[in-house]
Amino acid sequence: MTIPEKKIYPRTGDRQTIYLKDVITNPDITVGDYTMYNDFTKDPILFEKNNVLYQYPINHDRLVIGKFCSIACGARFLFNSANHTMRSLSTYPFPLFFEEWGLDSKDVTAAWDNKGDIVVGNDVWIGYEAVVLAGVTIGDGAVIGTRAVVTKDVPPYTIVGGVPAQPIKKRFPDKAVADLLEIRWWDWPREKIARNLTAIQEGRTGELK
Let me know if 84 is a catalytic residue: yes
CB 61 within 8 A of CB 34: no
Q: Which H helix or E strand runs over 199?
A: helix 197-201
Read off φ and ψ for residue 183, nearest 5 degrees.
-65, -45
CB-side neighbour CA atoms (13 Å) of 14: 15
Among residues 62, 76, 84, 171, the one annotated as catalytic is 84
> How far, in Å, CA of 109 to CA of 158, rounded?
34
Could you tell me how many helices (H) and strands (E) the chain has, helices first?
Answer: 5, 15
Distance of CA 74 to the CA centre of its chain: 12
**Could you list the active site residues?**
84
